[in-house]
A and B are shown apart, each in its own frame.
Chain A
Amino acid sequence: MISRPRSYAGWVLVPALSILLALLVASVLIIASGVIGRQRELDLLLPLVAYRSLLVGAFGNLRGIANTIVAATPLMLTGLAVGVGLKAGLFNIGATGQVLLGGFAAALVGTQVADAPLFIAVPVAMLGGILAGALAGFIPGFLKAFTGAHEVVTTIMLNALIQLIVSGLVNDIFRVPGFSFARTATVGNAALTGFGGTTIHLGAIFAFVCIPLSYWLLWRTTVGFEIRAVGANPTAALYAGMHPRRMMILTMSLCGAFAGLAGAIEILRLGYYPAVFGTSIGFDGITVALLGRADPVGILFSALLLGAMRAGAPLMQIEARVPVEIIDVIQGVILIFLAAEIVVRRIFRLRTTPEAGELQTITRTYGEKVVG
């Protein structure tokens, strides 16, 4: 899938079948959860009821649709943070840390511009988040390019490091008095608020703009050509006069910027940075990117899908009395089937394609020599 897909149908087949299989696996759990947890009668139709309310919750009315978009917004960005990296042959597991640093920076910048007009305060705070995220991506990119340290290892370690440093700072230097828990000061006018009576905010528009922007970057520019060439064949890229090291650093910084923006949006929606900012959007980005085949358009749709499940889950819990955690299960099972593409192809008797695509980046052996 390095070049444009030959047939779009074949290209979306495995992701689509993975979703189907995940829903089937989850159905079993939903039926079981009804019997075991709630001591209800065995209800084989419960999954259908659950999925129906999930659908209604996500798309049934304007508010649902708005919630879906708001939930999909950060996923789109972290999906790009992982997906663009995959195009360059890099597996960015550091979106989590990049989200945290981006969010924290946005909170700090936001407090500085809290009294500025909204149309200045919001973009400036977001820019702070983007730059901080880019920094968090730059570090593993630089280490990979100049020491050969594998980005999977360094980003995982940076995730822990950033989380501890940020929460240390929020608990100490940047803690504001007057609250029962540690948090930073309010971002005032930099806060993201919904408009038109919905929850849709400015950040969603930013995220939606990032999709065509990355598509343009990857497929329509020389920089994107270099990113893809380095990802597909670093030695050939070097031979052609490109600079694989430079592209690694650039791409990781760009990935970090996307994740940083995602973090900024989440924090600015909240209005402050809490000491405990637990979010799964960083890791969800991996699922989104793989489900979307590391392609910006694919990422858009997979982010909307996962966003819809998040948005529809509360109604599912109310109407079908199925715990919202089933969404995590579905997401996890999708990821397993995507990773085990061969299994999916075997189940549905599909022909295997010779090119392993982006998954190769993940399964490729470690310790490769960095060229350039």
Chain B
Amino acid sequence: MSGPESAPPRLQMRGITKRYPGVIANNKIDLDVKAGEIHALLGENGAGKTTLMNVLFGLARPDEGEILLDGEPVQITDPADAIARGIGMVHQHFMLIPVLTVAENILLGAETMANSIFLDRREARRRIIELGKRFGFEIDPDARVENLSVGWQQRVEILKALYRQASILVLDEPTAVLTPQETVEVFAVLRRLAAEGHSIIFISHKLYEVLEIADRITVIRRGEVVGTRLPSETNEDDLAELMVGREVQLAVERGTSNPSEPVLTVEDLRVRSDRGQEVVRGVSFAVRAGEILGIAGVAGNGQDELVEAITGLRRSIGGTVHLAGQNITAWSVRERREHGLGYVPGDRQKYGLVLGFTVSDNLVLTRYYNRPFARGIQRADAAIEEWARGKIKEFDIRTPSWAVPAGTLSGGNQQKVIVAREFTPDLKVLVLDQPTRGLDVGSIEFIHKQAIGTRDAGTGILLISAELDEILELCDRIAVMYRGEIVALVDGRPTANKEEIGLLMATGGRVPAEGPPTDTSGQVETAPDTSVRGGTS
């Protein structure tokens, strides 16, 4: 490890141990972060990253170990104490009030007062603008948070911490909600912060990101530090192995596909968004049996509405959808499902699961009314239980039992419940909407393998993903969606060109217009970035 030995690290966590009944969430964890360093904390879901950060932020008391700031041992009693000591936390789920302005959100809890009664809004605005300027993201303090894009909302969160004079910033999976472009922008902000001497703890399980942004990487597995690496001396495979504890196939064996007749045909489909705008504008494509067709595109280009129209959750206003030769455009969700349409939704907690229901009930959520799960209207609990046991085993769902609420499972295992339910042998078409969002490498590997297997069994798969690498990894053909239209349809690897697709995603293949593009945030837009995602694969 480099750096002057004279000055103690900005933050040192020594031998942190935190036990919960039955588990050791953190076992003698050592972590040190220097001033001006971006330190990545890498680990699978449930590895103990969050617990460690909760200890740092005063949300959990460690059973053993100590925390030193600038070499001085400190006791962090609660989040207010942590903030006072210059520790700022940017949560994965933003803690913002949508109807308030940027300035009001930032002031909440750290009110700058003119006197004992009134806020000093002018001074607050001045400081916000100044901070924004200093770190390279000028923001309108009077913009309402609800009108900002997700990327800018995250910057408001960062500003909130900076406004409270945080010098150690913890970012919990900051890129999980961002588009590739926004990720690039946020990375620029983080680098600027580090250059100014801030210490940044960057929590993630995305390997390429960590390699790109971090100065140092600490990998945690099952509550223990299993290694610390410099990005220059490691790679994705090495990190994945450290993280999972075994060799991981980052690139699944895709093999060759044998596509036959089209099973899902979409013709001139037109769909309106909730706001009444036509966001799918005359989309046509066909998915053939035994192939994976990917839809690449920056989030918000009509993919959600397209998927909802195909699966029956939303009425289309024009065009047709055919499933294995039958016109299903006016069919209900259930009719489509009964005729062989499977669907892994993009938002698993909103659409995919009833979190309060047991794992077994979630496994039969779409077929509870059929034999053998029901006789007439009476449920056949024994059959449901037996089915659930089988699926839990087959899909390696980590759960204490079939009878626990699905909400108690980790994200990866929740997704496995959905996959176990939707990936059935009799499918004609399977729609996968962001099937691996927020999942760790092990779960991603598993789901990708399942998808390839299902394809080889003769199912036509439509994959929608904001992760271009995932699309490139799995798809036999790739359609690029831009502003509600399919602007290109290209063959997948090895012919597919990542830079070319990235450019199509960002610009639709046209010369970039000089006016402000799609984003409604009213914020400065960076030039379309073609290197959607760096790193090797």
Q: Which residues of A come within 8 Å of B, CB atoms? A: 1-4, 220-223, 225, 228-229, 232-233, 235-242, 354-355
Contact = CB atoms under 8 A, between A and B. Distances in A.
B333 A241 contact: yes
A221 B377 contact: yes
Contacts of B381: 220
Given A3-B361, A236-B365, A238-B333, A355 B356 contact: yes
A222 B374 contact: yes
A240 B366 CA distance: 5
Q: Which 9 A-B pairs have the closest CB atoms?
A: A2-B356, A241-B334, A239-B351, A241-B333, A233-B354, A240-B365, A221-B377, A222-B369, A240-B366
12 contacts: A2-B356, A3-B357, A3-B358, A221-B377, A225-B368, A232-B356, A235-B350, A235-B351, A236-B350, A239-B345, A239-B351, A354-B407
B354 A222 contact: no
Given A239-B313, A241-B332, A229 B365 contact: yes
Given A222-B378, A228-B357, A239-B343, 4 more contacts: A3-B356, A236-B365, A238-B313, A240-B365
A240 B354 CA distance: 10
A236 B361 contact: no
B139 interface: no
Interface string B359-375: 00100011011000010
A22 to B, nearest CB: 28
A178 B337 CA distance: 65
Interface string B329-346: 000111001000001010
Most buried by B among A2, A221, A229, A239: A239
B354 A232 contact: yes
B357 A2 contact: yes
A276 B368 CA distance: 48
A235 B352 CA distance: 9
B85 interface: no
B405 A222 contact: no
Interface residues of B, number: 29
B333 A236 contact: no
Contacts of A242: 334
B46 to A, nearest CB: 17
B377 A241 contact: no
Nearest to B351: A239
A354 B407 CA distance: 10
B31 interface: no
A341 to B, nearest CB: 17
B150 interface: no
B377 A222 contact: yes
Contacts of A3: 356-358, 361, 405
Given A225-B361, A241-B333, A236 B378 contact: no
Contacts of B350: 233, 235-236
A183 B405 CA distance: 53
Interface in B505-528: none
Contacts of B377: 221-223
Contacts of B333: 238-241
A221 B378 contact: yes
A220 B352 CA distance: 22
Contacts of B313: 238-239
Interface in B167-191: none
B355 interface: yes
A241 B366 contact: yes
B379 interface: yes
A229 B357 contact: yes
A221 B334 CA distance: 19
A3 B408 CA distance: 12
B162 interface: no
Interface string B302-346: 000000000101000000000000000000111001000001010
Nearest to A237: B354
Nearest to A221: B377
A183 B354 CA distance: 50
A233 B366 contact: no
Contacts of B107: none
A222 B368 contact: yes
